[in-house]
């Protein structure tokens, strides 16, 4: 069916045209996570030169588990940031969820899957209450979540006990962050990721072709698939190398279990944001809440839901945190929320709402973790480490502010 | 539809904010296939009249007839269900979304919860084509990158896409240059020629005379004139707007 429309869809042209379009978009300010990716490469190069340990498999695996908690938190926060709101309580919500997980298991003898569900549901409930206060009562999210940030620290102290520490001994919970998967699982994981990307892409191309619409050049699909395959294979083979200090005693090789967990959260969240009505409404409310309201979107329902999502992700992050430390203390989660916000913003999620993706949060999470990890290896004082992280955040926020101003005035 | 049954007819509509009477016994009617202009000075009550039709700010008293039947307009949804759509001055578009997304905002097509982008894209493109829009290159552009005239075009096209019977345009040319104003006015005319009832609010009498069939004038909350364009001139309308002239409006 040849439809002679005068209106184009932006998919015309060759692979090279698509490349040129992308460059034009970047120049126009739609940089996405490109600066963060470039920064990541530069930082990694500097650290690798400064200290060869940085590139060792053991350090890479460490990096992954270090960043997993912050990244999970940052992905949840992205939903809130997309509305131009903020959730300062996500970190302590994670801490509280971790405490509930530990207590239900150690004091009430609850099985670990049920304890995990309780911990995540509690996160969801907290998000619902925060969302209600923001959307229905109309308190700025900064204040609601700051109040929650303070109050939950107190609650955490009461629950855990001052100076207390609750141990985690359920092996499956501990395995998430500390045990690698069997070597074959890494390759199976890569195959699943690759085939699902290829499958969904080919499906949507078929759909467009059958309704007589232009497809993006085939070259883009091939390029992206090849990138996934090459980068993924690099990751898996690198993580499958023996990294134990003493392999004869304890062998340590394989992709950590947390990797598929984060990938599933990323895939589901991205699907919700890009392919569902709710996701579209999140972007609409973040772009122009009044326009969304006039278009019949129930803005307060969207608002409550994003806070629920953020806190649910925080609940999951709490489990990851508990797994990594094998315990929960009274201060758990207090400091990570700022790193998570920094991760999202550095990755390219706008603080002004309406712009950003979950993958940005993941890339930003890597940048923050690499700075932390690399500066530690170089042996810089931790004060300087914080100052540099702060500087990077400020840089990203500046770029965000300039881009937003540009798109408002042009 | 016979021309003596207006699509919308307002009878003795009143609205007050505290002690201030903004609309005093206003009668107003719009017909299909016509462009009806609503003019008046700042504070004359134009916006209040429109907000009542949009269901945003219900009137205090009076009757609303839609295609001859009395109706209530208490929420934007009720207006939308009747097929009344307002294209606001600030356009009410989301800058961060593309043209297709904006045209389907709040009414996205979906299969089992998953957006049907292909369907939405072709519908949007067809609508723009049917309005002979040639200024928009790609329907997948972000609205932030469009000019004022193109944005106005998208907002109007959205009203057409949803097959609305009444399209209310609030100052559609206020922020536009000469060429873009011309394009938007042509679009407004095509809208009426396609059988829609179009209400246009404007301060620019030149635009009003270029496109309107009928002109209503509000002066301090009262409808002081309702005239056919062919039976009046700009000087008279200026007189009605400033209160120097009045024509008693009966029905």
> pLDDT-based confidence at A126, cuts 50/70/90?
very high
Q: Is B114 on the interface with A (CB under 8 A)?
A: yes
pLDDT of residue A305: 97
Q: How far is B86 from chain A (nearest CA, A)?
A: 9
Q: What is the CATH number of the domain that holds B168?
A: 3.40.50.300
Check whether B251 has a pLDDT greater than 70. no
Q: Is A6 on the interface with B (CB under 8 A)?
A: yes
Residues of chain B contacting A3 with CB distance shorter than 8 Å? 122
CA distances from B97 to A47, A351, B101, B144, B185 (A): 39, 17, 6, 8, 25
Cα angle value A393/A88/A169 (rounded, 5°): 100
Q: Is B109 on the interface with A (CB under 8 A)?
A: no
Task: Pick the most confident of A14-23, A131-140, A230-239, B193-202.
Answer: A131-140
Check whether A8 has a pLDDT greater than 70. no
Residues of chain A contacting B113 with CB distance shorter than 8 Å? 276-277
**SS3 of B40, please?**
strand
pLDDT of residue A5: 43
Check B129 against A9: CB less than 8 A apart.
Answer: no
Angstrom distance (rounded) from CA A362 to CA A262: 9
Higher-pLDDT residue of B130, A359: A359
User: The dihedral of CA A136, A141, A147, A150: what is its sign?
Assistant: positive
* CATH class of domain segment(s) A32-179+256-409: mainly alpha
Mean pLDDT of chain A: 88
Q: For residues A361 and A38, is the Cβ–Cβ distance under 8 A? A: no
Residue B96 falls within a domain, yes or no?
no
ipTM of the complex: 0.83
Residue B64 falls within a domain, yes or no?
yes
Angstrom distance (rounded) from CA A375 to CA A401: 28
Check whether A344 has a pLDDT greater than 50. yes
Residues in a beta bridge with A167 = A327
Mutate to test the interface with A, among B115, B118, B140 (most CBs of A within 10 A): B118
Residue B105 falls within a domain, yes or no?
no
Q: What are phi and psi of B69, to 5 degrees?
A: -105, 140
Check A296 against B138: CB less than 8 A apart.
Answer: no
Higher-pLDDT residue of A32, B68: B68
Residue B104 falls within a domain, yes or no?
no
Which pTM does this prediction carry? 0.87
Query: B193 is written with which tokens?
Result: 């020629």
Residue B35 falls within a domain, yes or no?
yes
Q: Which domain holds residue B200?
A: 8-91+162-242
Convert the pLDDT of each residue in A308-337 to its tens digit.
Answer: 999 999 999 999 999 999 899 888 888 899
| Residue-wise DSSP of A232-286 | HHHHHHHHTS---SSTTTS---S-BTHHHHHHHHHHHHHHHHHHBHHHHHHHHHH
Task: Pick the most confident of A1-15, A30-44, A101-115, B120-134.
Answer: A101-115
Residue B101 falls within a domain, yes or no?
no
Residues of chain B contacting A297 with CB distance shorter than 8 Å? 105-106
Convert the pLDDT of each residue in A45-80 to its tens digit.
Answer: 999 898 888 888 888 888 898 899 999 999 999 999
Q: For residues B55 and B78, is the Cβ–Cβ distance under 8 A? A: yes
Report the number of distinct structural domains present in chain B: 1
Domain boundaries, chain A: 32-179+256-409
Mean pLDDT, rounded, for B52-63 = 89
């Amino acid at each position: 069916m040849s439809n002679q429309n005068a209106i184009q869809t932006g998919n015309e042209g060759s692979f090279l045209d698509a490349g040129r379009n992308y460059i034009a978009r970047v120049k126009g300010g739609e940089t996405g996570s490109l600066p963060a990716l470039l920064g990541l490469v530069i930082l990694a190069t500097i650290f690798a030169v400064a200290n060869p340990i940085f590139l060792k498999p053991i350090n890479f695996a460490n990096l992954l588990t270090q960043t997993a908690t912050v990244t999970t938190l940052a992905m949840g926060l992205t939903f809130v940031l997309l509305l131009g709101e903020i959730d300062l309580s996500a970190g302590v919500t994670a801490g509280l969820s971790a405490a509930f997980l530990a207590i239900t298991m150690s004091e009430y003898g609850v099985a670990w899957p049920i304890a995990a569900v309780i911990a995540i549901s509690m996160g969801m409930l907290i998000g619902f209450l925060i969302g209600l206060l923001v959307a229905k009562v109309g308190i700025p999210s900064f204040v609601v979540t700051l109040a929650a940030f303070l109050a939950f620290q107190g609650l955490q102290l009461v629950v855990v006990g001052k100076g207390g520490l609750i141990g985690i001994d359920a092996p499956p919970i501990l395995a998430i962050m500390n045990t690698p998967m069997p070597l074959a699982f890494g390759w199976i994981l890569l195959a699943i990721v690759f085939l699902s990307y290829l499958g969904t892409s080919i499906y949507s191309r078929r759909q467009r072709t059958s309704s007589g619409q232009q497809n993006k050049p085939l070259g883009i699909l091939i390029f992206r698939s090849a990138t996934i395959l090459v980068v993924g294979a690099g990751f898996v083979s690198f993580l499958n190398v023996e990294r134990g200090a003493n392999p004869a005693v304890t062998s340590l090789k394989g992709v950590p279990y947390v990797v598929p967990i984060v990938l599933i959260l990323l895939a589901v969240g991205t699907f919700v944001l890009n392919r569902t009505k709710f996701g579209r409404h999140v972007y609409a409310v973040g772009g122009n809440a009044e326009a969304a309201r006039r278009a019949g979107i129930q803005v307060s329902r969207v608002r409550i839901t994003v806070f629920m999502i953020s806190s649910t992700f925080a609940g999951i992050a709490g489990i990851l945190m508990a797994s990594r430390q094998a315990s929960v203390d009274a201060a758990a989660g207090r400091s990570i929320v700022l790193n998570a916000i920094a991760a999202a913003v550095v990755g390219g999620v706008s603080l002004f709402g309406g712009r950003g993706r979950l993958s940005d949060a993941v890339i930003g999470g890597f940048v923050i973790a690499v700075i932390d990890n690399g500066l530690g290896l170089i042996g810089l004082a931790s004060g300087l480490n914080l100052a540099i992280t702060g500087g990077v955040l400020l840089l990203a926020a500046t770029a965000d502010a300039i881009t937003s101003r540009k798109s408002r005035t042009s | 539809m016979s021309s003596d049954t207006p699509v919308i007819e307002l009878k003795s509509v009143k609205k007050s904010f505290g002690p201030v009477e903004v609309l005093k016994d206003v009668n107003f009617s719009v017909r299909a296939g016509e462009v009806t202009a609503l003019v008046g000075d700042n504070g004359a009550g134009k916006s209040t009249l429109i907000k009542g039709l949009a269901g945003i700010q219900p009137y205090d008293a009076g009757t609303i007839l839609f295609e001859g039947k009395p109706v209530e307009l208490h929420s934007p949804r009720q207006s939308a269900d009747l097929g009344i759509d307002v294209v606001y001055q600030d356009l009410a578009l989301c800058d961060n979304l593309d043209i297709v997304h904006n045209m389907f905002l709040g009414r996205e097509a979906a299969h089992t919860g998953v957006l049907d982008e292909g369907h939405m894209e072709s519908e949007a493109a067809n609508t723009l084509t049917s309005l002979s829009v040639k200024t928009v290159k790609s329907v997948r552009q972000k609205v932030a990158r469009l000019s004022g005239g193109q944005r106005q075009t998208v907002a109007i096209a959205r009203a057409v896409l949803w097959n609305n019977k009444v399209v209310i345009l609030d100052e559609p040319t206020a922020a536009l240059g000469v060429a873009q104003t011309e394009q938007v006015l042509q679009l407004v005319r095509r809208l009426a020629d396609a059988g829609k009832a179009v209400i246009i609010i404007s301060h620019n009498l030149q635009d009003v005379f270029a496109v309107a069939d009928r002109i209503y004038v509000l002066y301090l909350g009262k409808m002081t004139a309702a005239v056919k364009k062919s039976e009046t001139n700009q000087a008279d309308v200026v007189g009605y707007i400033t209160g120097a002239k009045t024509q008693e409006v009966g029905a």
